[in-house]
Amino acid sequence: MARSWSKIFHLAIRDYVHEWLMSICFVLALAAVLGPMMVLFGLKFGIVGAMVDQLIENPLNREVRPVGSGYYDHAWLETVLERPDVAFLVPRTRSIAATIELSSEHSPRIVPVELIPSDHGDPLLSPDDPLPEGVTRLVLSQSVAEKLKVAPGDTLDGSLTRHFRGQQERVHLPLSIAAIAPAAAFSRDGAFVSVALLEALEDFRDGRAVPSLGWDGDAADANRTYPGFRLYARSIYDVAGLRDAFSKLDVDVHTHTTEIELVQRLNRNLTSIYWAIALVGLVGFSLSLGANLWANIDRKRKELSVLRLVGFRTADIVWFPMVQSLFTAVLGWALAVAIYLVTALVINDMLAAQLETGQQVCRLLPWHYAIALLLTCTSAVLAAGLAGLRSARVEPSEGLRDL
């Protein structure tokens, strides 16, 4: 049995090579349908993928920001943080108190900066960089770092003033630069600091004592509340749910849900359009492949009859066109991949100026190629198998006479 299979495999290859012109035509016919389909899917996947990636990769899209001021205490914040759809949450102090003037010995400028509360897992900061911890370390925004001509490891002088008991007071504190934040994290003059430092600055401005920094004042309030918070959802798909949850708690929030929904809708619409085109393409592809293989087997009936005459069995006769169809499928797929790769290269190159580094408008993942190959081979084997079976069922004497 194995011998006759290997023999028929060998004969199928010989015939395929002998009829190379016809084989090339079959391969071209297949690639002509499959190639454009791959480009179409590459475009759909690339365009929507790039938009979704941009949405996912940009943490600003996951931000849920309260509108206006509220009174959020630790217990409330802890409850929110426990939600599985919340990735990051830190309280904000009053924005008017969350500023500081920074100066360095490398620059004559004094730069007033906004202070942003931060903590472990801050999505705006690089996870590889040191965090702004304690009351003496901060992460600068790039604009501030450039203005003050400083780098990580340098020390800055931070200063702030208050009116306390009828007098203007100014305090200074040394602040070491833990890291410089990525440019996209914060575009204005700002610094990421610990909540502890922000609370200390707010306490100082409110005339309260900050023992850790040696600043005098009134006794601190034990029941601290915060006017706002910085919150990031775990993914862009959690943003709408969080917005609704806050709405139930009567907390007005601002989110990027509109943009997210726009891309999701676009994805859905593009997917529908793609599948409509793909379905038509797939039907055309299957018909084209099936018709080609069917015609080929009909053409080969006489030669298959000779094989039957010399004693090959039914299964061997079916195997012959299936082997050839598999060749056509694999070669057609390879050519379609080549067509796709060249087209994708040209499209991506043409639009490179409008794209971020590494982004591609037309792209496919390895498993997309594998699925295309699997679909092609399955269709080919089915069409050839059916046609081969039909051929094998014909009485061998019928096909012989005209050879």
Sites of contact with other proteins (CB under 8 A): 3-4, 7, 11, 14-15, 17-19, 303, 306, 308-314, 395-397, 400-403
| Helix 314-350 / helix 257-299 crossing angle, nearest 10 deg | 140
- The b-or-e profile of 159-180 (16+ CB within 10 A means b, else e) is ebebebeeeeeebebebebbbb
For other proteins, the closer CB: 172 or 393: 393
Adjacency order of strands within the sheet including 63-66: 86-92, 228-233, 63-66, 253-254
Beta strands 107-118 and 190-194: pairing type? parallel
CA distances, 300 to each of 27, 107, 143, 329 (Å): 17, 86, 75, 18
Integer Cα distance of 162 and 102 in angstroms: 16
* Residue whose entry in the numeric block shows the structure tokens 């610094």: 191
Structure tokens, 55: 């949405």
| Helix 20-57 / helix 257-299 crossing angle, nearest 10 deg | 170
Reduce the DSSP state of residue 46 to 3 states and report it: helix
Which amino acid makes up residue 391? S
For other proteins, the closer CB: 9 or 76: 9
**What minimum distance in Å lies between the beta carbon of 317 and other proteins?**
10
Integer Cα distance of 93 and 98 in angstroms: 7
Backbone angles phi, psi at 15, to 5 degrees: -65, -40
C-alpha angle with apex 297: 292 to 301, nearest 5 degrees?
155
For other proteins, the closer CB: 203 or 316: 316
For other proteins, the closer CB: 349 or 395: 395
For other proteins, the closer CB: 27 or 191: 27
Among the listed residues 191, 204, 199, 120, the one whose alpha carbon sits nearest the alpha carbon of residue 160: 204
**What minimum distance in Å lies between the beta carbon of 400 and other proteins?**
6
For other proteins, the closer CB: 2 or 219: 2
DSSP 203-218: HHHTTB-BGGGTB--B
**What minimum distance in Å lies between the beta carbon of 402 and other proteins?**
8
For other proteins, the closer CB: 371 or 403: 403
For other proteins, the closer CB: 180 or 318: 318
